[in-house]
Amino acid sequence: MRTTFRKDLKILGVLIGMMVLFGCAGLQNEVQVNEGKGPLLIKASDFKFEPNNIRLPEPGPLSLKVENISGVVHNITIKDSEGKIITSTDLPAHTTVSIEVNLPKPGAYEMYCDKPFHTGMGMKGQIVVGK
């Protein structure tokens, strides 16, 4: 019984360490969205979006194509600066989903996966609207 408890503690320690490590993953280089170039492709993989740091020059519509390249279901949720969810779309494993979202005012919009533990493990980013 005591050995099992110690083993469980070690496993828990490894999991917490991984969450801290992945959770510290920061923003990637900024990607500028250009009008007329079609939707922006975002890859959703195990615990990250790529790119995860997006700039839209001015308020308005944003077209995304989100490709889930992993074998598990993910999600992309976008919130405004007041915490209001603008869109939340599930991403089935090995599929690509098209999303049209309106970002009506300048500022930073939070982007994340709403599946348990995914955000904490690094599956998050931002969309900044305005110059």
**CA gyration radius for the chain?**
17
| pLDDT per residue as tens digits for the range 41-50 | 999 998 899 9
pTM of the model: 0.78
| pLDDT per residue as tens digits for the range 57-83 | 999 999 999 999 999 999 999 999 899
> Which band of pLDDT confidence, cut at 50, 70 and 90, is reported for residue 85?
very high
Q: How far apart (Å, rounded) are the C-alpha atoms in residues 9 and 95?
A: 36
Question: In order of start, what are the domains of the chain with their CATH numbers?
Answer: 2-129 (2.60.40.420)
| pLDDT per residue as tens digits for the range 9-41 | 666 555 555 554 444 457 878 888 876 678 999
Where does the chain show beta strands of DSSP type E? 31-32, 40-45, 48-50, 53-56, 60-68, 74-79, 85-91, 96-103, 107-112, 124-129
